[in-house]
Amino acid sequence: MSSFNCEHCGAPCLDSPAGYTTGCEHYPPDVPKIPDIIRQCLIEWMVQTVQEISEDGWAATWYSGIEHLAWDAMHGKKIDGLHFYSTKRALRKLKEVSDYLGVWVHWDKKVGEPRSIPVGVWVKIHEAKGGRIDD
Ligand SMILES: [Zn+2]
């Protein structure tokens, strides 16, 4: 199972540990559709929470590469600066919300602010970085 675009209508069908979170009439999603307002609030919460983690660890609103560090920490890697009890708790919730929505948040250089990105797209960006966070 992985994310794909419907071959009939082109709709993105996003896979997540909770099942397909988006779909279409040909491939109905596995999880109930999340109302747009709730989805938007959850994404804003994700951005705010990553910002708080960044502030706590680096006294910066969006420490360069924080989304990579937080992602690695969410998946069990030990990261200096992300060892606070409150941060660990926040990361656990971030992972649950990210899994459920099928998105992660990252710094979008084109718009100059954090935006959500489908997890499938994010993982490719993250892997291409090979753990480096220098830009
Ligand atoms: Zn379709």
pLDDT at 135 over 70: no
Same domain, 29 and 74: no
pLDDT at 129 over 70: yes
Same domain, 58 and 76: yes
Total of domains in the chain:
2
Q: Compute, in angstroms, the gap from residue 15 CA to the centroid of ligand 1.
A: 15
- Can you count the helices (H) and strands (E) in the chain? 4, 4
Same domain, 84 and 117: yes
The whole-number average pLDDT for the span 73-91 is 87
Same domain, 109 and 59: yes
Q: Compute, in angstroms, the gap from residue 96 CA to the centroid of ligand 1.
A: 27
Half-sphere exposure of 6 (CA within 13 A, CB side): 15
134 domain residue, yes or no: no
Same domain, 47 and 99: yes
- What residue numbers bound the domain in which 102 lies? 35-128
Tell me what pLDDT residue 134 has: 52
Query: Per-residue confidence at 132, pLDDT binned at 50, 70, 90?
Result: low
Q: Compute, in angstroms, the gap from residue 20 CA to the centroid of ligand 1.
A: 13
Nearest Cα to Cα of residue 54 among 78, 32, 79, 35: 79
Each residue's pLDDT tens digit, 37-80: 999 999 999 999 999 999 988 999 999 999 999 999 999 888 88
Q: Which helix (H) or strand (E) holds 60?
A: none
